[in-house]
Amino acid sequence: MPTVACMPRRHALAVVPLIALLAALGGCSGETRIPPPEPSSAVEPLFASDDEALEAATEAYEEYLVASNEVTASADLSVEPIEELVTAEYLELFVDSVEHLRSRGLRTAGSSVVLSTELQQWFEEAGLANVVLYVCLDVSGVRVLDEQGADQTPSERATVVGLEVGFVESESSATDLLVTSSDSWGDGVLCGTP
């Protein structure tokens, strides 16, 4: 039976749904605040309102989450489903995380579900929109399985986790937001589950 231990921070941050699935990962991830840069009046804002930014980022995260669940449940190492949904830097971390999971003979089954999202902030930087969301994610429907299909999900894992997720406007498509970061946030307090 594989031992589930704390992954290095760079692995933990890339596959945040796994933070809630593997024991002690909450202790590996610190809280990150992104200070807003000075607003630029030279660039027409992508979003006309906070509501538009929230809606666009929520849709982008839900699409990413479906693809992420698919990748971590797969027996191979293909990350093709998320390649167009994340930045190159985040993809590298995600690949490292999936490889770490596979090296321990583990995969997931089931799907995470977004319970709620809240806009932390959005801003323009270098002509691109950046959005930061708080996300409440229900991971109770996801199990960690070993190579024989035996359930290795830690009994003490949280079923609802709070996340802080960052996005940036795609340079190739002005309507797409790409995931840039994902950190555990608020020890569940954000989602009403201390």
* Predicted confidence (pLDDT) at residue 6 exceeds the cutoff of 90: no
Q: Which of 9-23, 98-112, 161-175 has the highest mean pLDDT?
A: 98-112
Average pLDDT over residues 19-41: 46
Separation in Å, CA 192 to CA 4, 54, 91, 120? 27, 20, 30, 17
pLDDT at 157: 87
Element (H, E) at 67: helix 50-73
Banded model confidence at residue 38, pLDDT cuts 50, 70, 90? low
Average pLDDT over residues 64-90: 90
By residue count, the chain amounts to 194
Closest by CA position to 143, among listed 24, 22, 15, 4: 22
- One CATH from 1.10.10, 3.10.450, 3.90.1200, 3.30.1490 for 9-26+45-191: 3.10.450
Average pLDDT over residues 14-28: 44
pLDDT at 44: 67
Full DSSP string of 103-145: HTT-EEES--EEEEEEEEEEEEETTEEEEEEEEEEE-TT-EEE
Please give the structure tokens belonging to residue 139. 């991971």
Mean of the per-residue pLDDT values of the chain: 80
Helix (H, G, I), strand (E, B) or coil at 188: helix
* Predicted confidence (pLDDT) at residue 73 exceeds the cutoff of 60: yes
Closest by CA position to 57, among listed 137, 125, 117: 117
Alpha-carbon distance of 154 to 146, in angstroms, equals 12
Alpha-carbon distance of 41 to 39, in angstroms, equals 7
pLDDT at 29: 39
Say which residues have a Cβ less than 8 Å from residue 135's Cβ, sequence separation at least 6: 61, 114, 116, 117, 162, 163, 164, 165
Average pLDDT over residues 157-179: 88
Banded model confidence at residue 1, pLDDT cuts 50, 70, 90? very low
* Predicted confidence (pLDDT) at residue 161 exceeds the cutoff of 70: yes
* Predicted confidence (pLDDT) at residue 164 exceeds the cutoff of 80: yes
Structure-model confidence comparison of residues 142 and 48, the more confident one: 142
Predicted TM-score (pTM) of this structure: 0.77
Strand 160-169 relative to strand 113-125: parallel, antiparallel, unpaired? unpaired
